[in-house]
Amino acid sequence: MKKQLIVTIFTSILALLTYFGFQIYKKIKAKKVFAEQVKRLPKSTNFQWVGKQTPNNDAPTIILFFNPDCDHCQYEAQAILEHPSDFVNTNFWWVTTVDSSAINNFSKKYHLDKLSKHYFAKLSTEKVIETFGSVSVPNIFIYDKTGVLQKEFRGETKIEALLTYTNQH
């Protein structure tokens, strides 16, 4: 009886270790793929744009994952709004998984709809994972005008830090 119990427990532990090991391997492999993928600016055709505007890749681009209800995203929007002249030559892709009406409310609330070069897109959660891997909100990707990733910031980021990477080319 005891022997059976020992065999059962050790088999379960071995099964758990194998399961975790396999999942860890899969996750690490996927992470490497996403790390390579985000090094280039994703095609704008992959996004479902909200509003009339669709972006041109003629300038450095900041992709900003956000959620209208997130405090740090609201802070980020307010900070960007207060420095319009610093970003005249920068495209902003505001990307979120929420519906179009919430996106419109957010862009109106922070007057981002009045600024040129600010584009809003809705992306399904599956598409976000497919394109960027796991992202937090806010999650910021800064690309130069040739579409090469310069820096990724997870979480709220000050304007000076954004400018460091948009102004370097």
Partner 1 sequence: MQLVREVSNVFLFSIMTIILLAITYIYNEFLISDSTYYNTFAEQLSSVRIEEIIEQNKKLRWLSYCLIPIIYFFKFSIVTLALYIGFFFSNREAKLSHLFKSVLLSEFIFLFVPIIKVIWFLSQNNSYDLKDLQSYYPLSALLLFDLSTLDAWQIYPLQLFNVFELIYWLLLANCLKYFFDISLTQGMKIVLNSYVLGLFLWIFFVIFLLV
Span 31-50, contacts to partner 1 by CB under 8 A: 31
Largest CA distance in the chain: 77
Ranges within 9-28 binding partner 1 (CB under 8 A)? 13, 16-17, 20-21, 23-24, 27-28
Nearest to partner 1 of 126, 160 (CB atom): 160
Size of the site for partner 1 (CB under 8 A): 22
- Cβ atoms of 51 and 120 within 8 Å: the answer is yes
Residue 159, both tokens? 């304007």
- Does position 161 interact with partner 1 (CB under 8 A)? The reply is yes
Minimal distance in Å, beta carbon 28 to partner 1? 6
Q: Could you say which of 66, 110, 120, 153 contacts partner 1 (CB under 8 A)? A: 153
Cis amide linkage into residue 42, ω under 30° from 0: no
CA 94 – CA 99 distance, rounded (Å): 13
